[in-house]
Amino acid sequence: MRIATWNINSITARLPRLTQWLETAQPDVLCLQELKVSEEAFPGDELRALGYESVVNAGGRWNGAAVLSRVGVEDPATALPEAPGYEGVVEARAAGATCGGVRVWSVYVPNGREVGHPHYEYKLEWLAALRATAEKSAGGPQPFAILGDFNIAPADADVWDLAEFEGATHVTQREREALAALEGAGLKDIYPRPLKYDVPFTYWDYRQLCFPKNRGMRIDLVYGDEAFGAAVRDAYVDREARKGKGASDHAPVVVDLDV
């Protein structure tokens, strides 16, 4: 089974690239984030024509998460249990489903904006709710994984130059501790094998030629429980999908399993 995660950064703008990638990469399950579309405008018919069912949590112009599956969908979920709201709104940041006997969540963790901002505290609260979900599912009868854009670099090596992020979000101790708490819930970071570079970054800003210069971050992550990790046969970042005009600023992370 091939499972992937991709922050698509607008499924409407990126639909031709998405459909092409589905046809070439052939994932059985794809977790998408940052859909930037309403549920009514989600291209379910186009994806269904390629053989994919969709579980969608879309809120309109911002955010959004989905699970696409060509190996069946059971127990779909379009909200993270006990997820906190921000300014009175529970945002569209998670979608879950059991696909081919594997339970997956697609998550788009809040950015945090800046240290000390209310959005930063919201990010930590959201991660606490994510851990609670992991505690209920990890180690269960089915392999379990959380995939998505976590907006956190787990370690110093996961950013191209730590000095560039001094005092900023994505690398603070509190964020990393909240992320590491997933390991306490029975999950581990499924680290992609390095291909072109020693560190498999997944995100590169559009500005200042960050992608050609490989000034990136590893913030798109896969956290799986013991059964999921034991089934992993390969994991890599598909840098080719980040190349060219009209690409998302994130690349897909692909995991191959023997289940």
Contact of 92 with 64, CB cutoff 8 Å: yes
| Domain residue extents for the chain | 2-257
pLDDT (tens, 9 = 90+) of the chain, 259 residues, equals: 999 999 999 999 999 999 999 999 999 999 999 999 999 999 999 999 999 999 999 988 899 999 999 999 999 999 999 999 999 999 999 999 999 999 999 999 999 999 999 999 999 999 999 999 999 999 999 999 999 999 999 999 999 999 999 999 999 999 999 999 999 999 999 999 999 999 999 999 999 999 999 999 999 999 999 999 999 999 999 999 999 999 999 999 999 999 8
Is it true that domain 2-257 has CATH number 3.60.10.10? yes
Contacts of 49 (CB under 8 A, 6+ apart): none
3-state secondary structure 78-135: CCCCCCCCECCECCCCEEEEEECCEEEEEEECCCCCCCCCHHHHHHHHHHHHHHHHHH
What local confidence, expressed as pLDDT, does residue 248 receive?
Answer: 98
What local confidence, expressed as pLDDT, does residue 123 receive?
Answer: 98
Tell me, yes or no, if the pTM score tops 0.95: yes
